[in-house]
Chain A
Amino acid sequence: MDWLTTVDHKKIGILYLIAGGFFFGIGGIEAILIRLQLIKPMNDFVSAQVFNELITMHGTTMIFLGVMPVIFALMNAVIPLQIGARDVAFPFLNSLGFWTFLFGGVLLNLSWVMGGAPDAGWTAYTPLSSSTYSDSHGVDFYTIGLQIAGLGTLIGGINFLVTIITMRAPGMSYMRMPMFTWASFITSAMILFAFPAITVGLVLLSFDRILDANFFDVAAGGSPVLWQHIFWIFGHPEVYILILPAFGIISDVIPTFSRKRLFGYSSMVFATILIAFLGFMVWAHHMFTTGLGPVANALFSIATMLIAVPTGIKIFNWLFTMWGGQISFPTANLFAVGFIPTFVMGGVTGVMLASAPADYQYHDTYFVVAHFHYVIVGGLVFGLLSGLHYWWPKMFGRMLSEPIGKWTFWTFAIGFHLTFFVQHFLGLLGMQRRIVSYLPNQNFDTLNLISTIGALLMGVGILLFLYNIIITSKKPKNAKADPWEDGRTLEWSIPSPPPEYNFKQTPLVRGIDALWKEKMSGNKGMTPAEPVGSIHMPSPSILPFIMSLGLFIAGLGFMFSREGFNNSFMSFIFNNYLVLIVGLLITFGAMITRSLIDDPGYHIEPEDQEEEEKA
C-alpha cells in the first residue's frame, strides 16, 4: 500500500525500475524468440502471424516500456539529488506519470492474451495498420496502450523541466549542473515537443480504426504518407530522447572513475543542445525511399550528417577526460568505457545511412537493424547498465557484487557484438528486415546462426545482472555516502540511501562538481545554505493510481465499443459506451477530489530528522 500511494521521487524511481525491468524482460524474451525463429533458413518455430506480432511488440515494448522507464527511474532517483532538491516540482504528478505508464504498458501487453498482439511493426505504417489489413484488436491495443503510457512520459518530462528550472540549490547555475542533469533537462524538453506529435498520430489512427474516420484512408482522401511524417517527427527525436540520458550517464561516470573533471564541459552542453535541435530536423531520413524527391532527400541527408559533428565532440571529450587521469574499472566504468567504441560504431553507420542514395540499398535491411541496435543497445543499454551499477548504492544502500558485475559486462558485451556486428553484412548481402524466414543458400545461414548465439549470450548477461540484484538485496544496507570515494556531484554528499527529505540542509554550490570542489578545499561535506529547520513534505495519495486505473478501463471500453460479443450483458455495457463512461468518470472523479480537498502535506521537525539519521 505504501508503494501505491507514494509520491517520493526515490520510491517512484524504484517503481519505474521494477516496471521497466519487467517490460524489458518481456521485450527480451520476444527478442530471443525472434532470433530462435531466424536461427536457420525456412524455420517454422513460430508462424508468420506470430512473428509479425513478436517484432512489433519487441520494438514497441523495448522503446516505450523497457528503456524509457529505466531512464525515468534513473532520472527520478538521481536528478533531485544532483541539483540539491528535496523532491521533484510536482510529486503528485510524478506518481501519476508512473501509474499511467504502467497501466498503458499493461494494456498493451494484454493484447497477447486478448485476441492478438499488434502486427504492423512498431512504426505501425498505414494502410497495413488500418482495420482493413489488420483486423484483430492488436493495433487498437497499440494506439490506446501507447496513448495512455505516453501521457505518463509527457507528464514526467514536464515535471523534470520544471524541477530543473526551479529547484536547483543556491549556487547551482545552469553551467554548474552535472551532465546527467543537463542531458535529462534537454531530453525532457524534447519529450515536450516530440510526444504531442505521436499523441496526435495515435488519436488519428485510433479514430480511423474505431470510429471509421478517414485520416489515412486513400479512398476518402487521406494519406498514408502523412502517418509516416507524423510518426517520424516524433520517432526520430525519440531516438535522441533515449540516447541523450545515456550520454549524460557516461559524462558523469567517466570523470568519477578517471578522477578528473569532464573535459570541455561547456562544449558538452553545447553539443547536447545541438544534437537535440538537429534531432528534430532530420526525421525524413527514415523516408528516403518513400519518394519525397531529390531536394528533400538531399536536405535531410546533409542535416543528418551534421549530427556527426556534435556527437564527435562528445566522443573526443570523453576520451580526453580519461587522458591524464587515473582510471579504475569497476563494472559501472567498464560499461561506460565499453560504451565509447560501441557507440562510435553505431554512430558511423548512422552517417553512412544518412547518404540517401546509399540508403536506397541499406533501408529496411539488416544493416539498419544492426545500426540502431548498436545505438540503442550498444549506446543506451550500456549507458543504463553503467548508470545502474553506478547509482545502485545510492538508490538501495547496497553495493552490487563486482565479480558478477564483470561477468555481466563481458558476456553482455561479447554477446552484443556477436549478435549485431554480423547483421551489417547480412543487410549488405541482401537480407531485408522483418522477414519471418529466408531461403537457404543465400549466404545468410551462418551469419544468422552466429547472431542467434550472440543473442542467447546477451540473455545470459542480463540473467547474471538479475542474479546480482537478487543476491545484493539480501546483503545489509551498508553502502557509504560516497561509496566510489571519488564522487564529484551532490548526490554523493548525503547518505545512501538518502533520507526521505534528501538534504537536511540545502547545500551551497560553489562550482562545477560541487562535492569534489569541497573535498579539494579540505571540507568533509557540503556547506549548508540554510539553517536546520522544519521540512515540508507532500502527503502520499492513492489518487494517481485511481486516475490511471480509470483511463485503463476507459481505454478498454473505447477499444471494444464496436465489438460484437456473444454475451448480451457484455454487448450492452460495451456497445453503449458504458465501460468507457465509467472509466472516464473514475478518472475525472479522482481529479475533482484532488481539486476539492485541500491537502497541506506535513512537516518533518528537526528532532525527527535526527532520529531518521540514527536509524
Chain B
Amino acid sequence: MMKRWQALKRLLPLLAMFSLLLSGCGREDLSVLNPQGPVAEGQLGLITISISIMALVVVVVFVIAAYVLIKFRRKPGQNEVPVQVEGNHKLEIIWTAIPLLLVIVLAVPTIQKVFAYGEDKWNEEGVLQVEVTGHQFWWEFSYPQYDITTAQELLMPVDREVALRLRTADVLHSFWVPSLAGKTDTNPDGSINHMSLSTGNPGTYIGKCAELCGQSHGYMEFRVKAVEAEQFDAWVEAFKAPAVLPEDSQLAEKFRTNCLSCHAVGDQGGFLGPNLTGIGSRETIAGILLNDINGAKGSSPVKDNLVQWLSEPQEVKPGNTMPDPKELGFSDEEIEQIADYLANYKLDY
C-alpha cells in the first residue's frame, strides 16, 4: 500500500510538469494551448483536467501491462498448466467503479461549461455584435451596431465581449480562432449559431475554417484583431468615410465597372465579394498571403501580394469564384496600378 502512494507522489509532479509544458506550447496567436481569452482559457482548463485524468489512466494501464508482460513470460521448460482463473467479482466491480468515478469528475465541469458557452449574449448590454457569414472561401464580418461590413479581418476592442451570430452563404463552414475560442459551424439551413469571445490582450489572432468546404478549405484563413477601444472607434470612423477611388480617372472607371460589381469600397460597390475598404492596412491578402506589416516570417509587401493575387487568383485559392482579371481585360500594367491603389488604401486607426 505504502509503495503505491509513493508511486503516486512521484507521478504528481510529472503530471504538473506535463500540464505546464502543454500550456507553454505553440504560438500565442494560434495555439489552443496558449489561450488569450476567457473562453479559450476555460476550454484549456477542461483539456488539462481531462489530459491529467487520462494520463493517469494510461500510466496505470502501462504499468500493469509492463509488469504482467515481464513477470509472466513463459520461461523455457515451463510446462505446468497455469491456474484457470474464472474472474474475480471484487476486482471487476472495482474497475467498473473507478472509471465511473473518473467520468463523473470530468462530467461535472463539462456540463457547467456546456451551458456557460451555450448562452446567447447577442442582446446583452455592452457587447459588440458581429454577424459572421462564411463564403467559399472568405469570411464576411458585419457590425449592425455601426452599420459596417468588412471582410477577412474581424476588428474588436480589447476587454469588450463580442457576440457573434454565424451563418453561411453557401456550404458548411466552421469559425475557429484557436487562441480565443473553440469552433462553431455555420449552417446553411437558415438556423443561426451564436458564440462569444473576448480578450484582454491587444494583438492579432489567426482564425481558420475548420469544416471541409471545397478546394480551398485549407486556405480559408482570417484574422481577429484586438485593439484599444479608441483605436476601434477611430477605425469605425475611418471605415465610414467616403470611398477613395483611383486617382487616374480612366483606371477608376475600369475599377468601378469591373471590380465594384462584386466588391465594395466605402459607400460604393456590390456585396458579392469581400469588402475592400482599407485593404492596404490588413495583415493578409486573400487570407494566406502575409503582408509584411508586422514583419511576419515569409511575408511580402502588400502590393506584391496584391499583384500575385490579381494575376493568378486560381493559383492562390483554387476554386474561388473571382473572375481572372486578365480575362476581364486588365493588362499587367493595369493590375500593377490597381494593386498599387489598393495597397495604399489604408485606414487610419
What residues make up the interface of A, taking CB atoms closer than 8 Å to B? Answer: 47-49, 52, 120-121, 125, 127-128, 133, 218, 223-225, 258-261, 263-267, 289-291, 293-294, 297-298, 301-302, 305-306, 308-309, 312-313, 315-317, 319-320, 322-329, 337, 340-341, 344-345, 348-349, 351-352, 354-361, 363-365, 425, 427-430, 432-443, 520
Indicate if B145 sits at the interface (CB-CB under 8 A): no
A432 contacts B85, CB within 8 Å?
Answer: no
**Top-7 shortest CB links A-B:** A360-B182, A435-B218, A294-B118, A348-B54, A326-B74, A291-B193, A264-B87
Q: How far is B84's CA from A265's CA once the two chains are assembled, in angstroms? A: 12
The answer to whether A265 touches B68 (Cβ under 8 A) is no
Q: Name which residue of chain B comes closest to A49, CB basis.
A: B215
A47 near B68: Cβ-Cβ < 8 Å: no
Evaluate contact between A341 and B62: CB separation under 8 angstroms: yes
Contacts of B221 in A (CB 8 A): 439
A309 and B31 within 8 A (CB) = no
Residue pair A320, B110 in contact (C-beta under 8 Å): no
Residue numbers in B under 8 Å from A263 (CB-CB): 85-88
A-B contact count (CB 8 A): 291
Are A430 and B30 in contact, CB atoms less than 8 angstroms apart? yes
Q: Which residues of B contact A429 (CB under 8 A)?
A: 25-27, 30-33
Q: Does B96 contact A (CB under 8 A)?
A: yes
Collect the chain B residues with CB atoms within 8 Å of residue A289's CB.
174, 182-185, 210
Residues of chain B with a CB closer than 8 A to A120's CB: 212
Output the least CB separation between B308 and chain A (Å): 13
Nearest CB on A from B216, distance (A) = 6
**Is B114 close to A, CB under 8 A?**
yes
Distance between A380 CB and nearest chain B CB, rounded to angstroms = 19
Mask of B170-206 contacts with A, CB within 8 angstroms, 1/0: 1110101011011111011111010000000000001
> Which residues of A are found within 8 Å of B106, using beta-carbon distances?
305, 351, 355
**Is A344 touching B61 in the complex (CB atoms < 8 A)?**
yes
Residue of B nearest to A355 (CB): B110
Pairs across A and B, CB under 8 Å, 22 listed? A49-B215, A259-B74, A267-B87, A308-B99, A352-B50, A352-B51, A356-B110, A356-B113, A360-B43, A361-B32, A361-B40, A364-B183, A429-B31, A430-B31, A432-B176, A434-B218, A435-B217, A436-B215, A436-B218, A436-B219, A439-B290, A520-B81
Residue B295, interface by CB 8 Å:
no
Any A CB within 8 A of the CB of B100: yes
Q: A48-B319, A127-B170, A265-B86 are in contact. Are A430 and B32 (CB under 8 A)?
A: yes
Enumerate chain A residues within 8 angstroms of B298, measured Cβ to Cβ. 439-441
Tell me the bound Cα distance from A354 to B99 in angstroms: 14
Give chain A nearest CB distance to B64 CB in angstroms. 5
Contacts of A355 in B (CB 8 A): 46, 50, 106, 110
Name the residue of chain A whose CB is nearest to the CB of B103.
A305
Residues 44-75 of B, flagged 1 when their CB comes within 8 A of A and 0 if not, give 10110011011001100110110011001111
A287 to B255, CA, bound (A): 43
The contact of A266 among B65, B73, B87, B297, by CB within 8 Å, is B87
Q: If A324-B82, A364-B183 touch, does A309 touch B103 (CB 8 Å cutoff)?
A: yes
B213 & A325 in contact (Cβ 8 Å cutoff): no
Specify which of B100, B118, B206, B209 is in contact with A293 (CB 8 Å cutoff): B118
Asked if B288 lies at the interface with its beta carbon under 8 angstroms from chain A, I say yes
Q: Taking the nearest CB of chain A, how far is it from the CB of B311, in angstroms?
A: 17
Let me know if A363 and B72 touch, CB within 8 A.
no
Q: How far is the CB of B28 from chain A (nearest CB, A)?
A: 11
Q: From residue B155, how far is it (CB to closest CB) to chain A in Å?
A: 21
Which of chain B's residues have a CB closer than 8 A to the CB of A323?
68, 72
Q: Is B318 an interface residue (CB 8 A)?
A: yes
Whose C-beta in chain A lies nearest to the C-beta of B173? Answer: A128
- In the bound complex, do residue B95 and residue A312 qualify as a contact, i.e. CB atoms below 8 Å apart? yes
Docked pose: A265 CA to B72 CA in angstroms: 21
**Residue in B116, B184, B211, B319 with the greatest tally of chain A CB atoms within 10 Å:** B211
B234 at the A interface (CB under 8 A)? no
By CB atoms of chain B within 10 A, which of A290, A320, A357 has the most? A357
19 additional contacts, CB 8 Å, given A133-B214, A313-B96, A429-B30?
A: A127-B170, A128-B171, A265-B86, A289-B210, A316-B64, A324-B82, A326-B73, A351-B103, A354-B110, A357-B43, A357-B182, A358-B43, A361-B40, A363-B182, A363-B183, A428-B33, A429-B33, A441-B296, A442-B27
| B303 located at the interface, meaning its Cβ lies under 8 Å from any Cβ of chain A in the complex | no
> Known: A309-B103, A360-B184, A428-B25. Is A325-B114 also a contact (CB below 8 A)?
no
Asked if B297 and A128 make an inter-chain contact with CB atoms under 8 angstroms apart, the answer reads no
Cβ-defined contact, A327 with B47, below 8 A? no
- Chain B residues closer than 8 Å to A258, beta-carbon distance: 72, 82
Bound-complex Cα distance A267 to B117 (A): 39
The listed residue (B54, B65, B172, B206) touching A430 by CB distance below 8 A is B206
Q: Quick one: closest A residue to B80, CB to CB? A: A326
Chain B residues whose CB sits within 8 angstroms of the CB of A428 once the complex forms:
22, 25-26, 31-33, 47
Query: Which residues on the A side are within 8 Å of B2 (C-beta)?
Result: none
Of the candidates A344, A356, A441, which one forms a contact with B57 in the assembled complex, judged by CB atoms under 8 Å apart? Answer: A344
* Set A223, A363, A436: member contacting B210, Cβ < 8 A: A363
Do the beta carbons of B26 and A443 come within 8 Å of each other? Answer: yes
Complex Cα gap A363–B211 (Å): 9
Asked if B191 and A432 sit within 8 Å, CB to CB, the answer is no
Cross-chain contact A315 with B61 (CB below 8 angstroms):
yes
Q: Is the CB of A291 within 8 A of B184?
A: yes
Interface residues in B211-240 by Cβ distance below 8 A to A read 211-219, 221
Alpha-carbon separation in the docked complex, A301 to B115 (Å): 12
Interchain CA distance A317-B86 in the complex, whole Å: 11
Q: Which single member of A308, A358, A440 contacts B46 (CB below 8 Å)?
A: A358
Instruction: Please measure, in the bound complex, the distance between the C-alpha atom of A308 and the C-alpha atom of B214, giving whole angstroms.
Output: 35
Distance (Å) between the CB of B137 and the closest chain A CB? 10
Q: Kindly provide the distance from the CB of B126 to the nearest chain A CB, expressed in whole angstroms.
A: 23
A328, B74: Cβ atoms closer than 8 Å: yes
Contact B189 A218 (CB under 8 A): yes
The closest CB in chain A to the CB of B194 belongs to A291
Most buried by B among A133, A297, A348, A425: A348
Chain B residue contacts of A267, Cβ below 8 A: 87, 92
Report A-chain residues with C-beta under 8 Å of the C-beta of B114: 294, 297-298, 301, 356-357
A224 to B85 Cα, complex, angstroms: 53
User: How many Å lie between the Cα of A289 and that of B25 in the bound state?
Assistant: 25
Residues on B with beta carbons closer than 8 Å to the beta carbon of A358: 43, 46-47, 50, 110, 182
CB within 8 Å of A: which of B108-167?
Answer: 110-111, 113-118
Q: Does B249 contact A (CB under 8 A)?
A: no
C-alpha gap A349/B53 in the complex (Å):
11
* Complex CA distance for A254 and B44, rounded to whole angstroms: 38
Q: How far is the CA of A302 from the CA of B111 in the complex (A)?
A: 9
Query: Are A327 and B73 in contact, CB atoms less than 8 angstroms apart?
Result: yes
Interface centre among B43, B57, B110, B208 (most CB of A within 10 A): B110
CB distance from B94 to the nearest CB of A (A): 9
Q: How far is the CA of A120 from the CA of B193 in the complex (A)?
A: 23
A325 to B179 alpha-carbon distance, docked (Å):
50
Which chain B positions have C-beta within 8 A of A121? 212
B79 nearest CB across to chain A (Å): 9
Bound Cα distance from A127 to B172, whole angstroms: 7
Is there a chain A Cβ closer than 8 Å to B16's Cβ?
A: no
User: Closest approach, in angstroms, between the C-beta of A570 and any C-beta of chain B?
Assistant: 29
Closest Cβ neighbor of A516 among chain B residues: B84
Q: How far is the CA of A302 from the CA of B184 in the complex (A)?
A: 20
**Distance A361 CA – B114 CA, assembled complex (angstroms):** 13
Cβ-defined partner of A225 (8 Å) among B53, B118, B189: B189
CB distance from B1 to the nearest CB of A (A): 19
Q: CA separation between A390 and B211, bound complex, in Å? A: 41
Q: Which of B22, B54, B219 has the most CB of A within 10 A?
A: B54
CB distance from B203 to the nearest CB of A (A): 15
Distance (Å) between the CB of A224 and the closest chain B CB? 6
Known: A297-B118, A313-B95, A441-B298. A259 touches B82 (CB 8 A): yes
A270: min CB distance to chain B, Å: 10
Name the distance in Å between A304's Cβ and chain B's nearest Cβ. Answer: 10
B328 at the interface (CB under 8 A from A): no
With A261-B84, A325-B72, A327-B74 in contact, is A125–B117 under 8 Å at CB? no
